[in-house]
Structures are given as C-alpha cells and as structure tokens.
Chain A
Amino acid sequence: MAAVASRMPGERGPEVGEFWTCLTTGLRVHRSVVPPLMVNAVTAVVFLLIGGLLALLIALTRWEAVQLLPPSWYYVVLTLHSWSMLIFWIIFMEVAILYFASAIVLNFRLVTPGAAWLAYVLMLGGSLLAAATVLFQDATYDQPLLTSYAPLNIHPLFLVGAIIFAVGAFLALGVFFATVWRASQEGAYQGSLPLVTFGAAIAAIIAVETLLGGAIAYIFQLLYAIGILKTIDAEMYRVVWWLLGHGSQQINLAAMVTSWYLLAHLTTGAQPASEKVSRTAFVLYVLFINLGAAHHHLSDPGVTSAWRIWNAGYAIYGAAMGSLIHAFAIPAAVELALRRQGHGGWLGWLRHAPWGNPAFAALAVSLPLFGVMGGITGITFGTEQLNMMVHNTLAIPGHFHGTVVAGTSIAFMGVAYAVIRLIGLRELISAKLATFQTYLFGTGMAVFVVTMMWLGYFFGIPRRHPDVSATPLATSPLLEALMGISGVVAVIGGSLFVLLAVGTLLFGRHRERGPVFMPTISGGSQAGLHSEPHDLRGTLTLCLIFLAVFLAIYATHWINLSSLWRIG
C-alpha cells in the first residue's frame, strides 16, 4: 500500500484527497470508511428508536394497572423489541465501531468497501425479513421471542432472515479483520495494536464464535421447520442457541469496555495506567467469557453439576476477573489524567472531571450502572444454586437491562456523540441537552432495573408473561407502577438521544476537516507516564466500596437460598 502512502502528503487538497485529519484527535480518516461507518451507525439508531417505542408498549403492559396490550400483541411486540435492541441496534452499532477501530484508529483505508456494503445490505435485508415475518405471520405460528426455542412452531422465513443477518454480520467481521491485517502488512502502525483496536479485535473474535453457534442452531431449526428433520433435540437447541444468545451480549461487553477506554481518552486525555493489565483483562474475555452461555442451563435437565460449576463460573471466574480489572483500570486512567492536570486530593480529582461533556457523562453513568446493576447480578444469578431462585423471573431481564441498556447502550450513545463530532464533522445541536439526556436515561434505567429485579427476585414474577393477574402470584402494584413510570422516563431519555443524534447530523454546525496529511501522533508521553508514581487512592477507594456492595448482595443471595425448603 506504499502507493497511496507516497502520494499522500500535500498532493491533493483536503476536499478531494483520500485522507483528511480529525483536528481533535489527529486521526487520519480515509474517505472510504466514512459512508459505511455512518450508514451502519444511523441504521443502528433507527432500530434503537423502533425498539424504544416498542419498549414503551411493553412497560405499559407489564404495569398491570395499565395492561395496554392483549397477549397476542404483547408477544409480537416483545419479539420485535428484543430483536431491535439486542441484535439490530447493538450489532449495527458494533459494525460501525469495528470500522472506526480498524480503519480510522490505524490511520488506514477500509479494505474491500464493496464487501462492507454487501454486509450492510445482507444485515438490513435479513433484519427486515425477520421483522416482517413475525409481524405478518399467520396465527398458527408461535412468536419466536428472542430465543425461538425448539420445538416451537417458528416460521421458516423468520429463521431465513436471522441466518441472512448473521451472514452479513460475519462478512462485516471479515472486513474488520482484513483491514487490520492489511494495515499491519503495509506498516500503517508500528509495534502492537492500539488498545481500542485490540479491544475491538477481542469483540470480533468473540463474535466469530457467537455467530458460528447461532448458525448451527438456526440451520438445524430451519431444517426442522421445513420438515427435513423430523425431530430436534430441545435441550441441545438451548445449549447451542445460547452460544449466540449469550455470546452476542459478550461482543457488547468487549465493545462497551473498548468504548469506555475511548470515551475516557477523548474526554479527559486518559491513558491506561498499564497496557499489560488492560490487555490481559481483554484476553481473559476471549478465553473464558463464552463459557457464560451455561448461565442459561443452571436449572435445566441433562447437565451435570460439574458442567454447570465449571462453565457458569467461567472456569475460575476468569471473565469476571477481566471485568473487575477493567472496572479499576478505566477510572484509574481518568484519575491519573486528572492528577496530571493538577487536580489532587483523595477523591478531589473527581470534581474536576468534565461532567458537562455528554461523552464523559455517558462513561460516568454507564460504567457504575453496568457494574452495580448488571455485573453483580450477573455473578449471583449465574451461580449454580442461586440460579433456581431467579431462573425465568423478571429479575433476568432486570439483569440484562442493567448490562445491555444501562451499560452498553449508554456507552454507545457516548461514542455516537463523540463520533458525530469527529467523523460526522458536526457540532452537537445542544451539548447541554445531550448531557441531560444521558443522566435522564441513566436514572430512568436504574429505577427500572431495580424494580424489575425486585419483582423477579422477591415476588417471583415471571418474565415473558402477558398477564400475571391470571395467576395466583402476589405482586406489588407500587413496584409495578414504579417500573412502568421509570420505563416511560427511560424511553423519553432514549428518544431524546435519537432526536439529538439525527438533529445534529441534519442541522448541526459544520466542523472543519484538518489538512490532508499529518504524521502519526507520537506516543512519547506514555514513557513519562510510567515513570510517575501511580497515585490511585481514589480509584482503589471507589473499587473497595463497590466490592463491599458486591459482597453484601452475594451473601444476601446465599442467605435467602438457605431459607427455602430442601431441594436436591
């Protein structure tokens, strides 16, 4: 690729050249990457909007004083909401992040932009086919929800849509790997991959495993649905499908953590205190995180205790160790950066963080909410014996709204706010409103998640249920009302994001492009950083507080379990 490199410096003007430079980060942006990146990101946001409006209908149905939808419509809406959010919003956004982390971070072009467009067309086509099928299928078919557990009667076209989407996503992963590979071959960077690219590569590797699992499950189920296979093993389907179901949310995890490093850097100039520690934590994800798919079979027939303990415990909690390390390393990076800027004190540096910057607000809201709401419950609910008390209750969606919505979605919103400025070259129409949106959405989700978990854990209210009043179960109208209202607040917060993002792309003030060529920024300051003493008192204190909360909740779960009648 020496040809392009040699004709770059100054030979073409900024408007016609193949590269331009981001004035804030100094990153060189190749024109081939911008259109697919922006189109994937905008598609993601559209699905977020659709999923959000559907979320409103679900929240108002589960709030039984309102009970908006009849059961038949409830399941249609639940299916579309789960696919729009957990699959379409997240994966389109992740594709955008992969293109950013490969081509843009490595100051390189997107190789095979044609394949990137084909990937996009397949993903969009597959998602529309699947969505249209569940919307218009005839009543003899079951709604698949997210999981389409065999042997439910699933419409074959839905499965075809899901497979086409997966093929598209697979191709997008190929574009990412090819871009990183070519960049390394052509010397676009020296030494190891930048941390953001490394984290994205971790997400992409997990995605390969995930999509292979999904492909196997869906292909077998399609053969069953069209009658080629006469029987299908229902438990085997569950085990294989969850490689996709759980794995896809681990792509989110890796992409979200990568986003946190990115947001911390863009808003405070933070650099990881130790590349070794941060990268080792990412490697722990690759080694152990997909074992977590077993969390879904802790109360299933057909699996042994040893299998459950080994897998659900991520071997020896390797993946949990990874997350706990990031939980320290990211605030530590911020603390070091702020201390270097002259802000001292035990926790005094925190007051000088850029709380008014929407991208920082996204970090500051999503990281603790992910840890406290999603992380702790992920460990407790995923413990072999403790799972009996929560399996298939409302506490489970409570857990993953803590991880995927309060965690991943808010982090991605922060990335979107940053990327719109850096790559979209528009000033936010209102940074103040964007910051407010982040806190509003975070608050709504926090209350929503706590009420869901409370109803599931202490009342045993089932998930995926259209009408608890038809059962003899006791419930709490007050908690349900809080859940409904906080759900509505969160949807308003989420809609505000869509409004701001789309409004900025259409009406935001233009930002300037930098000159065509700029030498790669030197990482010289890093050497100096390592010779400073690492004063991380503040971060250690915050982490110890988190640890205390963690242990209290973990112990409470065991105490509650011991109060049950004898089982086993």
Chain B
Amino acid sequence: MPLTPPQPRNWWDLPLGGHEKIWLSIVVLLGLSMFVMMPVWHVFGAQNSPTETYRVSPDYYWEKATKFAAAEGGLSRKVEAGIQPTGDDVYLGALKFGWFPNVLVLEAGRRYRIHVSSKDVNHGFSIHKAGEPSQKANFQVVPGYEHVLPMTFTEAGTYDIVCQEYCGLGHQFMLGRILVERGR
C-alpha cells in the first residue's frame, strides 16, 4: 500500500498486467508522435515561430525605427494615414504606451520582415484580424532583443495590434494597426 514500503521486496521484478502494457505502449507512441510533429511542421507547415534575433541596445533600436519611419515619410507618433514601406523590412518599436509607427500599410501576398523590439520594458506584439477573432498571433517583445517576424498576409483587411504583456498602468491603451491592401 502507498503508506508502507512496497511488498514483496523484489517489487521491481513483478510482471505487468496486459491492460497496463497496452496503455504504456499507447503512451510511448503518443509522446514520440507529438515530438515528431513539431519538426514535421517546420517542413510542411506555413506557420512557424520565428527565431531570427539580434541583440541590440534599446536606444540603438529606437534610432533604427525612427530612421525607418522618417525615410518612409512620417515622424509624428500618430500617423493616421499610416506608413507604406517601400522595402520588405519594417521596424516597429514598442514603448510605454504605444507602438511606433502605430499604423502601417502593407500589401497582401508580399513577405515582410517585421522587426519588433522595446525601448523600455517587456511588451506583447499581439496581432488580430478585425472581424475574425480567432485569426491572431502573439509574440513577446523584449528590450535588448530585436526579433524579426516574417509575415505574409494572405488576405486584405485591418489587423489590430494590442499590447499583450503587462507594461504598467496604461497598458490597455497601447494600440496599433496594420492595414493590408491588395497588391498595387
């Protein structure tokens, strides 16, 4: 019994029952299959967690994001019309309590490399397709790390960005938007 030392002393040598063996085989098979599933998705799947990362100082990254926005024609933090990048690299900076630039206009079907990093504390890059609540993806935004998120939006529409990591009072007002338009 579980409250006394196991009996007999050679408990390790006792045979298993048939039903136990069936379940143990299932368990081992299930574990191996689930483990294999992840690398398999890297080969055949179209959605894989990005890993490309650069170690940067928060100020350096911020400068890069500012330069990107200036080159693309907008420096004010609230550019309602949005920034339309000409290249494939897009730089997004997070700080308490906003995204900079906070509106991007991208083309559907084109592969962008969305760089994200933070100027101050941890934030969350959480992107949601408007009108289709289950279409969303979430990434941690960490100061000192420039994370490159390659994304190809297959459908045109509005994609809302909200901060999904607690960053202080005002967290809930940290919003941005990506407008995806059909190819020009």
Contact = CB atoms under 8 A, between A and B. Distances in A.
Interface of A: 25, 27, 71-72, 75, 105, 142-143, 145, 149, 151-152, 189-196, 233-235, 238, 261-262, 265, 269, 271-277, 297-305, 308-309, 313, 316-318, 320-321, 324-325, 328, 332, 379, 383-385, 387-393, 457-460, 462-468, 470-474, 520-527, 530, 533-537, 539-540, 543, 547, 554, 558, 560-568
Between B130, B131, B142, the greatest number of chain A beta carbons within 10 A of the residue's beta carbon is seen for B142
B49 A308 contact: yes
A183 to B, nearest CB: 11
A238 B122 CA distance: 10
Contacts of A566: 46-47, 111, 151-152, 154
B87 interface: no
Interface string B12-29: 101011111011101110
A343 B137 CA distance: 51
A568 B126 CA distance: 15
Given A152-B121, A458-B134, A565-B152, A299 B139 contact: yes
7 contacts: A191-B5, A276-B11, A305-B49, A383-B34, A464-B165, A472-B130, A522-B4
Given A271-B1, A523-B5, A547-B26, A305 B42 contact: yes
B1 A568 contact: no
A462 B130 CA distance: 15
B49 A568 contact: yes
B111 to A, nearest CB: 7
Interface in B116-164: 117, 120-122, 124, 126, 128-131, 133-147, 149-155, 160, 162-164
B172 A466 contact: yes
A47 B134 CA distance: 37
Given A325-B27, A564-B137, A534 B168 contact: no
B140 A565 contact: no
Interface in B46-71: 46-51, 53, 55
A425 to B, nearest CB: 18
Interface majority SS on B: helix, strand, loop or mixed? mixed
Interface of B: 1-9, 11-12, 14, 16-20, 22-24, 26-28, 30-32, 34-35, 37-39, 41-42, 45-51, 53, 55, 111, 117, 120-122, 124, 126, 128-131, 133-147, 149-155, 160, 162-169, 171-173, 175
A149 B4 CA distance: 44
B143 A309 contact: no
A239 to B, nearest CB: 11
Given A142-B168, A191-B9, A309-B38, 7 more contacts: A191-B5, A194-B1, A391-B138, A393-B136, A460-B134, A521-B4, A567-B50
B51 A304 contact: yes
A568 B164 contact: no
Contacts of A389: 136-138
A186 B183 CA distance: 80
A385 B49 contact: yes
A324 B27 contact: yes
Contact of B3 (A27, A522, A539): A27
Nearest to A335: B19
A78 to B, nearest CB: 9
Contacts of B126: 392-393, 460, 462
B175 to A, nearest CB: 6
B172 A471 contact: yes
A328 B20 contact: yes
Given A145-B166, A191-B9, A271-B2, A536 B138 contact: no
Contacts, number: 314
Nearest to B6: A275
Contacts of A272: 2
B19 A534 contact: yes
Contacts of B136: 389, 393, 460
A206 to B, nearest CB: 19
B172 A313 contact: no
Contacts of B152: 565-567
Contacts of B162: 462, 471-473
A473 B160 contact: yes
Contacts of A298: 49
A194 B12 contact: no
Nearest to B44: A562
Given A27-B3, A392-B124, A536-B19, A299 B49 contact: yes
A408 B3 CA distance: 20
Nearest to B11: A275
A181 to B, nearest CB: 16
A234 B2 contact: no
Contact of A520 (B4, B18, B111): B4
A313 B145 contact: no
B145 A265 contact: no
B11 A317 contact: no
B2 A262 contact: yes
B3 A25 contact: yes
A565 B6 contact: no
B16 A568 contact: no
Given A234-B144, A318-B31, A534-B19, A464 B166 contact: yes
Contacts of A536: 17, 19-20
Given A235-B145, A471-B160, A388 B137 contact: yes
B18 to A, nearest CB: 7
Given A540-B22, A554-B34, A562 B140 contact: no
A564 B37 CA distance: 18
Between A105, A234, A305, A472, the greatest number of chain B beta carbons within 10 A of the residue's beta carbon is seen for A234
B122 A149 contact: yes
B6 A299 contact: no
B145 to A, nearest CB: 4
A460 B128 contact: yes
Contacts of B53: 301-302
A193 B5 CA distance: 5
Given A75-B166, A275-B6, A565 B24 contact: no
A568 B134 contact: no
A193 B6 CA distance: 8
A534 B172 contact: no
A540 B19 contact: yes
Contacts of B111: 566
Contact of A537 (B8, B19, B165): B19
Contacts of B34: 313, 317, 320, 379, 383, 554
B7 A523 contact: yes
